[in-house]
Structure 1
Amino acid sequence: MPFVIYADFEAFLNPIESCSNDPSQPSTINIQKHEVYSFGYYIKCSYDNRLSKYETYSGSNCAQVFMNRLCEDVKTIVKKNSFQKCPVPLSDEDKIKISNSNICYICETEVNEDLFYNFDWHTGSFRGVAHQVCSSKYRTPRHIPIFLHNLSHYDAHFIVHALNFDDDKVEVIPQNKERYISFSKQLTINNQPVSLRFVDSLKFLSCSLDQLAKNLNDDQFTELKRNYPNNEDFSRLRRKGIYPYEFMCNSDCLKHPSLPDQHQF
């Protein structure tokens, strides 16, 4: 599928009241419980920005609402893209590309007499010349990747508990008993399987989002600029904010009219 999804969660840090620790005995004390209360995800379409969208939510049953809304959006995506578009007429540029090309753009080997014009299944636009056998075997993957930064260490703990909402299977690639490299939730749409594949972007972008953002210029934030064209809003969202994690312990804190004291950050 020509779609990718980026998601993130926020959680309250609820303090846990417990008895005092016995200093003579080794032990671990839980002092806070992470209670997820908000999420945001962005669906990006590779060929039509009108199909891209941002979804956010704050409230109770956050992980379950996340899965419900995500599944509804994915079902809409698949149904809208389940019909093959007719090939569009070749442009002059396409014709020049064909006349100058003797390499299959799929397998990258020489094309002889079995040259075949390959068109995009979703847009109808010309992709390139290919062997007929390569073109017939070329398939759009039936999964949609969902990237969360530091998924394995954090967000996965919220999501996995919300995956068993139906009888469709869940596949997991574990790192150990508590952490997952990746996991997938299968959906059945139009009697066809479609997989939601959750992936930890930290596994191949091994630094913080703040540092990754600093590596980009303003003009490279095309999606952020498109959704927030106001320069002041863009500048504010462009940099990492300061979040009072210790202060945010319940939903009443969201209604606080001003910033908390410095020691609560």
Structure 2
Amino acid sequence: MQLPNDVDLEHNLNDAFQKIFGSCEEFIRKGSGWVLKRVIKLEIHVANYSSVGGSSFIPTPVTFARHKTLINIVNDDDKCFLWFVLAFLYPSTFLPQRVSNYTQYENDLDMTGMSYPTPVSQISKFERQNQISVNVFGYEDKDIFPMYVTKMRESQHHVNLLFLREEEKSHYCLIRDLNTFLSRTKKNKSHFCHFCLQGFTRHDLLEEHIKNCSRHDPQHVEMPDDDNCLLKFEDYRKQMKAPFVIYADFEAYVQPLDTCERDSNSSSTTKTARFEPCGFGYQVVCMDDKYTNSPVIYRGTDVTKTFLQRLLEEKSKIKDILNQAKPMVLTPEEQIEFEKSNQCHICGKHFTEKSKRVRDHCHLTGKFRGAAHDYCNLKYKYPQYVPVIVHNLRGYDSHLICQSIGLFKDQDINCIPNNAEKYISYSLGNLRFIDSFQFMPNSLETLTGNLAETSFKQFSKEFSITEKKLLLRKGVYPYKYIDCEAKFAETELPSLGCIYSNLRKCDITEEDHEYAQKV
């Protein structure tokens, strides 16, 4: 925030407060209903600010030297902004570049509180005091771009200025006709937008464009040339599959909470239960089966902390495996295939006389993958992170994990938030937690029903054919009944009436109860 003088101090402070209040309201509206209780600390940093502004004369660039729509007044003071506004209001047909043509009108404008040279930041103040709208366009590297676009749309007088810079000096010039001035750079365009300088052939097209463009800050649109007009995928390393992935899930006690009786005359939220994690299961799966581990099941205390500790240990083991690159195993048939290949298997482009062809292989298994460019081969590396996939992570499991994730101070924590309470993804060190529900938005019961029995490769290693028929459907779990560790020691299922679903608001069926007994 800039504080140019005492007159604007209160206005700028109020504007800053409104932005803070607006941010708080947006946070509460998009978040979890949290309320700002108090501000613990507020820091204000003050620094000298030197805004750009026009001063004394700078020669007109050669590009515009013969342009009749541009007036460059030769002044030896710092009032070039004032002289150019007066040159617009009181145009002179005889030597318009002379200051003497405008000195008699110097007091016609209200310059109270304005400084010389006049910075761009003070133009809005000038507009309010004189009811004259001003646009300022910059010129750099033979390119014109908007620097300041007025918000006074209905002003009777409108001034367009070109801002020039030469080393430490800066200077304004008057643009008599913006459309004519810009048409020199864009053929067959005669109507230009002040906000982005895009040209149009008809005025009605410009008006339609301004309705949308005026909603945004001034900008400069630069179209690509013929050599860079196509966007191509070139980050080929992101095609590489993660060699290891961890699948995980949590279970929790549903502990009832004592609550007060609700007031039927007012709306309220009543907390009826608290979810306390009681156990977890996970499995490390590798593209090379010999590194795939059996599932790990845990039930005990400090569930989420133990879960994260175990995963960090698994990550260290994975890192050690990946650091030991296996040498390539090349069969005679693969050597012939390499010699005949004329195309890189990574980028798909053909080899040329200048390109160097190399053999690409998997560092985990040693298997030959194909011929590749040497630079493609160097970039084609395994991801540095280990994906941890949890179904409905964003809606449920992340709330449990985040209770302990802050305990690991030595690990970097990053997240992609959906709002203040839900996260699309987050990372602990090189562990990247992602939600499979985000790209497979169905229940696990539906997803398993859509797959053939032969699809469950890891599942088949742990269970027999008879067990698979029982387990490849949604299980029956008495969530409400299991509210403490002692319930796990019971040798019989609870009665039918004890297995009640709060979500479905009903008991399980007799058929489901019989199925649970078989399991």
Residues 122-144 of structure 1 deviation map (CA, whole Å, 9 limit, x = unaligned): 22211111011111222211000
1:198-229, Cα deviation, whole Å (9 max, x unpaired): 0000000010111000011111111110222x
1:180 to 405, 423, 430: 423
Give identity over the alignment, percent: 35
Give the superposition deviation at 1:84: 1.6
Q: Does 1:170 align with 2:413?
A: yes
Kindly provide the amino acid, as one letter, of the partner of residue 97 in structure 1.
E
| Counterpart mapping for 1:91-106 below 5 A | 91-106=331-346
Matched, 1:112 2:346: no
Matched, 1:73 2:314: yes
Q: Which residue identity is paired with 1:47?
A: D
Cα gap change, 1:152 to 1:78, in 2 (>3 Å): same
Question: Where do 5+ consecutive residues of structure 2 fail to align?
Answer: 1-241, 500-519
Partner of 2:483: 249
Distance 2:351 2:367 in 1: 20
**What is the rounded CA distance, in whole Å, between the counterparts of 2:401 and 2:359 in structure 1?**
43
Q: Deviations over 1:25-77 (max 9, x none)?
A: 21110001001101000100101334433111011111011011111122112
Q: Indicate the residue corresponding to 1:134 in structure 2.
A: 376
* SS at 1:161 equivalent: coil
Q: Given the two structures, how large is their TM-score scaled by the length of structure 2?
A: 0.48
Corresponding letter in the other structure for 2:282? Y
Alignment of 1:50-61 (within 5 A): 50-61=291-302
Q: Which runs of 5+ in 1 are unaligned?
A: 187-194
Report the secondary structure of 2:295's partner residue: strand
SS in 1 for 2:461: helix
1:60–1:119 CA distance, 2 compared to 1 (3 A): same
User: What is the alpha-carbon distance in structure 1 between the residues aligned to residue 255 and residue 349 of structure 2?
Assistant: 59
1:190 aligned partner: none
- Contact 2:251 / 2:279 at 8 angstroms: preserved in 1? yes
Q: What's the CA shift for 1:101?
A: 2.5
SS for the counterpart of 2:319 is: helix
User: In 1, Cα distance between the equivalents of 2:379 and 2:310?
Assistant: 33
* Equivalence map 1:221-240=2 (5 Å): 221-228=456-463, 230-240=464-474
1:47 paired with 2:281, answer no
1:121 aligns with 363
Shift of 1:100: 4.2
2:253 aligns to what SS in structure 1? strand
Give 1:192's aligned residue: none
| TM-score when normalising by structure 1 | 0.92
Contact 1:245 1:264 in 2 (8 A): no
Higher strand proportion? 1
SS in structure 2 opposite 1:213?
helix
- Report the number of matched residues: 255
2-side partners of 1:32 and 1:256: how far apart? 22
- Distance in 2 (alpha carbons) for counterparts of 1:76 and 1:139: 18
Whichever of the two has the greater Rg, that structure is 2
For 1:64 and 1:32, locate their aligned partners in 2 and report how far apart those are by CA, in whole Å. 22
- The answer to whether the 8 Å contact 1:117/1:126 transfers is yes
| Cα offsets for 1:127-176 (capped at 9, x unmatched) | 11101111122221100001000000000001112222232210010001
Using a 3 Å threshold, how does the CA distance of structure 1 residues 227 and 111 change in structure 2: closer, same or farther? farther
CA displacement at 1:96 relative to structure 2: 4.1
Q: Determine which of 148, 152, 159 is the counterpart of 2:390.
A: 148
Q: 1:112 to 1:47 in 2, by over 3 A?
A: farther
Corresponding residue for 2:492? Answer: 258
Q: Give the drift of 1:24.
A: 1.5
Query: In structure 2, what residue type is equivalent to 1:143?
Result: Y
Aligned partners of 1:12 and 1:34 also within 8 Å:
yes
Q: Deviations over 1:170-195 (max 9, x none)?
A: 00100011100000011xxxxxxxx1
1:211 counterpart residue number: 446
Deviation, 1:260, is: 0.9
RMSD: 1.4
